[in-house]
């Protein structure tokens, strides 16, 4: 039995004066995203964050299940960015109160339709992403909208936001203009909402209950207790959005429900309600909503789904993917008209604006004990209804000359993530599926640098037998440790254990490429989103960095950084041939798909978040269709992004001359955070 005690004080003393080896914008990303305010009002330093995260994780199980010196090893690895739990863990692990450790969730469809929306709203407000499948087979049994709701929202005129002006894309607005003129906050029948997550959930529940199930008096909601815009949120962190975003959400949902009175909601109606919910949470500053919406290729209205983001201004809060299966491939081979039309529309959409993607439900269901339902917002974890994802990543390039150390890091991450399955879960349905599946996702980043250090080109790694062998060995190490540690803890063995995620902000801390992606380009503009209340925003403006109002998100500003990719800048220091460095615009569509298929076969048993980024001039529609259908049966999901198809992309290639002429220049990495930029920042 291990009686080793935590070494909190020893670690803090040893590392408090040690400088982390930040990536080019690593410190800024850390301060914006992960450094929490302490009780004395100061902000955490990296060594304090590391200490909190590892102690929080190892304290989730009895000390006898922690190896001797395991805490110390984990802290050393994490401080050096070799071992990085997902951002959700970095933000919340070890804080006082509940530990909501899980990155993303799937919102199922239950007997009571309200449960879907309340679950979605709850998890988004806790900082997680939410996926859902809107196929007709899941929603067809729900009742018609029974009642129109007379919704009245009231507030004490002394509330700090009452007359405050808020910017909206169509102009300025005040809270007062949105409030009822028929009722007062002093009316005894008003429901006074608490200033808490539960209070916001209650408001949505009351509205949905009256629309779907009950009738009666008008619904009068009093928002007087909700803290004003900019107020500190002590538990989760960040600043409050104020009650106005809740009011807007409730009124938009109520209008949709009223317009559908006497009818059943369509799949896109359900999606739109979830979008209004996510839009509300996005405006909550530190929490960035991320969603995934899926729909079966068999549904008659699948084409409405495929086109739902085209010129509508709606559904920007979600990634979208069409669910395909073995029946689809069979129908496609038989030249079924519907299957061919779906395929052509999806590929054309991909090559036009990056969406939809494909999700292969049949392949994702292999070796799954339950009914696989959808993926998380970025697509790397396929889940049952109500399930969550639980991720961590190893920095491959830091173990270039240390294969033994690399394998040990993968083993330790497996143990870390299995312990994380004991984190707090408030939903009983989710408790049940997590206790049964114990799903984890051990991944990596720094893949291209790792290849380059060995003199290997990214574009040819799919045919490299040594690369394939190492991927298989790492997968076996994770699986074997998962089996052994689960037995030690007397819990079920995790159903799946490996994945590849975008690792956007995680890889930025270390300054290496994200997930399995190669660099975006040699020179580029990078847009980083900041809440308008972020304390770092004025400083960045004063330093001369260009800024622009975000076209997608309220109360958000994009700061533009002119960058040279770190991998280009560090060629000599990293001691490899410059010719092996390739950008995403230099990799063919076929090689990209072959690399993803190789990683799916050799390493990943969950799924892979993999965005193929190509330039418009390189796109031949007919050729692309033939190439994609060849690889599609081998992939659980895939997405293609063509440059220049989205306004305010997170990355935009520029020339060396543009970079040289920029006022402020920096070295950075151009990894793609997510498919269309809606993944959470934590």
Q: What is the pLDDT of residues 561-609, one digit of tens each?
A: 888 887 777 665 555 567 788 888 889 999 999 999 999 999 999 999 9
pLDDT value, residue 289 = 65
C-beta of residue 416 within 8 angstroms of C-beta of residue 74: yes
pLDDT value, residue 24 = 80
Q: How many CB atoms lie within 10 A of CB 236?
A: 18
Per DSSP, helices labelled H in 59-86 are 70-79
Half-sphere exposure of 322 (CA within 13 A, CB side): 29
Distance (Å, rounded) from C-alpha 397 to C-alpha 463? 20
For the stretch 553-592, what's the b/e string if a residue is b when 16 or more beta carbons lie within 10 angstroms of its beta carbon? bbbbbbbbbbbbbbbebbeeeeebeeebbbbbbbbebbbb
Confidence of residue 669 (pLDDT cuts 50, 70, 90): low
Distance (Å, rounded) from C-alpha 589 to C-alpha 568? 22
Catalytic residue among 48, 323, 355, 380: 380
* 651: CB partners within 8 A, 6+ apart: 520, 521, 524, 525, 526, 527, 670, 672
Catalytic residue among 280, 378, 452, 461: 378
Q: Is 378 labeled as catalytic in the residue annotation?
A: yes
* Both structure tokens of 24: 């080019």
Q: Is 403 labeled as catalytic in the residue annotation?
A: no
Select from 263, 497, 280 the least CA-distant residue to 381: 497
Among the listed ranges 12-21, 351-360, 571-580, 612-621, which one has the minimum average pLDDT value?
571-580
Half-sphere exposure of 198 (CA within 13 A, CB side): 3
* 354: CB partners within 8 A, 6+ apart: 611, 639, 640, 641, 642, 645, 646, 675, 676
Strand pairing class (171-174; 191-192): unpaired
Q: What is the mean pLDDT of the chain?
A: 90
pLDDT tens for 63-83 read 999 999 999 999 999 999 999
Region 477-506: mean pLDDT is 96
pLDDT value, residue 8 = 57
Per DSSP, helices labelled H in 143-243 are 175-178, 197-212
Q: How many CB atoms lie within 10 A of CB 516?
A: 26
Helix (H), strand (E) at residue 136: helix 136-139
Select from 588, 637, 635, 595 the least CA-distant residue to 614: 588
Q: Output DSSP code: residue 232.
A: B
Distance (Å, rounded) from C-alpha 452 to C-alpha 575? 9
> End-to-end alpha-carbon separation of the chain, Å?
36
Distance (Å, rounded) from C-alpha 292 to C-alpha 382? 11
Distance (Å, rounded) from C-alpha 18 to C-alpha 10? 13
Q: Quickly tell me which residue has 């925003």 as its tokens.
A: 537
SS3 515: coil
pLDDT tens for 268-283 read 999 999 999 999 987 5
Give the residue, 75 or 28, on which the prediction is more confident.
75
What percent of the chain is modeled with pLDDT above 90? 67
Distances (CA, A) of 584 to 183, 448, 512: 58, 11, 15
pLDDT value, residue 33 = 87
pLDDT value, residue 99 = 79
Distance (Å, rounded) from C-alpha 74 to C-alpha 174? 49
C-beta of residue 547 within 8 angstroms of C-beta of residue 559: yes
Q: Output DSSP code: residue 44.
A: P
Confidence of residue 119 (pLDDT cuts 50, 70, 90): very high
pLDDT value, residue 577 = 66
Q: What is the largest CA-CA distance in the chain?
A: 75
What angle is formed at CA 48 by the lines to CA 47 and CA 51, rounded to 5 degrees? 85
**Res 679 pLDDT > 50:** no
**Res 668 pLDDT > 80:** no
């Amino acid at each position: 039995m291990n009686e080793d005690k935590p070494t909190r004080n020893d670690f803090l003393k040893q590392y408090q004066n040690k400088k982390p080896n930040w990536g080019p914008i690593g410190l800024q990303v850390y301060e914006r995203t992960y450094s929490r305010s302490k009780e004395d009002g100061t902000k955490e330093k990296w060594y304090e964050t590391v200490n909190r995260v590892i102690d929080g994780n190892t304290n989730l199980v009895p000390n006898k299940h922690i190896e001797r010196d395991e805490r110390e090893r984990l802290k050393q690895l994490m401080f050096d960015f070799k071992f990085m739990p997902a951002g959700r863990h970095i933000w919340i692990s070890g804080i006082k109160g509940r530990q909501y450790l899980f990155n993303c969730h799937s919102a199922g469809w239950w007997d009571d339709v309200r449960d879907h929306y309340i679950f979605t709203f709850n998890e988004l407000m806790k900082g997680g992403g939410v996926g859902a499948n809107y196929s007709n087979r899941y929603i067809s049994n729900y009742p018609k909208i029974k009642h129109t709701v007379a919704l009245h929202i009231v507030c004490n005129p002394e509330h700090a936001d009452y007359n405050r002006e808020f910017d909206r894309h169509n102009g300025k607005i005040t809270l007062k203009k949105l409030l009822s003129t028929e009722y007062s906050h002093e009316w005894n029948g008003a429901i006074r909402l608490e200033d808490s997550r539960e209070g916001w959930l209650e408001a949505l529940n009351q509205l949905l209950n009256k629309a779907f199930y009950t009738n009666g008096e008008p619904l009068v909601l009093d928002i007087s207790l909700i803290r004003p815009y900019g107020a500190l949120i002590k538990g989760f962190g960040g600043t409050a959005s104020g009650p106005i975003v809740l009011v807007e959400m409730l009124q938009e949902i109520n209008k949709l429900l009223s317009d559908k009175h006497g009818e059943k909601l369509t799949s896109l109606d359900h999606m739109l309600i979830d979008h209004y919910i996510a839009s509300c949470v996005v405006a909550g500053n530190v929490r960035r909503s991320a969603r995934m919406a899926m729909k079966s290729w068999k549904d008659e209205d699948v084409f409405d789904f495929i086109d739902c983001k085209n010129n509508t201004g709606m559904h920007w809060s979600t990634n979208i993917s069409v669910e395909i299966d073995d029946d689809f491939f069979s129908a496609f081979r038989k030249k079924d008209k519907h299957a061919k039309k779906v395929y052509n529309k999806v590929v054309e959409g991909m090559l036009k604006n990056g969406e939809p993607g494909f999700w292969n439900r049949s392949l994702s269901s292999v070796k799954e004990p339950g009914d696989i339902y959808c993926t998380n917002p970025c697509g790397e974890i396929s889940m049952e209804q109500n399930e969550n994802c639980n991720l961590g990543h190893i920095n491959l390039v830091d173990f270039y000359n240390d294969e033994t150390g690399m394998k040990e890091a993968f083993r330790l991450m497996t143990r870390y993530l299995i312990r994380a399955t004991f984190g707090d879960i408030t939903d009983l349905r989710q408790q049940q599926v997590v206790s049964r599946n114990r799903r984890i996702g051990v991944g990596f980043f720094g893949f291209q640098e790792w290849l380059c250090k060995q003199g290997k080109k990214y574009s040819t790694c799919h045919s490299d037998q040594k690369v394939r062998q190492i991927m298989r060995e790492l997968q076996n190490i994770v699986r074997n440790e998962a089996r052994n540690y689960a037995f030690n803890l007397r819990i079920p063995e995790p159903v799946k254990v490996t994945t590849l995620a975008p690792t956007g902000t995680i890889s930025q801390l270390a300054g290496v490429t994200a997930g399995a992606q190669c660099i975006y380009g040699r020179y580029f503009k990078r847009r980083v989103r900041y809440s308008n209340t972020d304390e770092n925003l004025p400083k960045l403006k004063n330093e001369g960095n260009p800024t622009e109002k975000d076209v997608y998100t309220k109360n958000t500003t994009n700061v533009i950084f002119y960058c040279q990719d770190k991998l280009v800048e560090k060629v000599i220091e990293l001691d490899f041939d410059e010719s092996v460095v390739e950008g995403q615009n230099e990799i063919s569509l076929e090689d990209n798909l072959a690399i993803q298929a190789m990683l799916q076969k050799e390493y990943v048993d969950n799924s892979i978040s993999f965005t193929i980024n190509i330039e418009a001039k390189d796109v031949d529609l007919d050729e692309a269709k033939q190439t994609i259908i060849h690889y599609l049966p081998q992939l659980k999901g895939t997405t293609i992004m063509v440059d220049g198809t989205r306004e305010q992309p997170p990355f935009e290639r520029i020339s060396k001359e543009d970079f040289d002429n920029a006022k402020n220049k920096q070295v950075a990495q151009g990894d793609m955070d997510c498919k269309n930029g809606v993944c959470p920042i934590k």
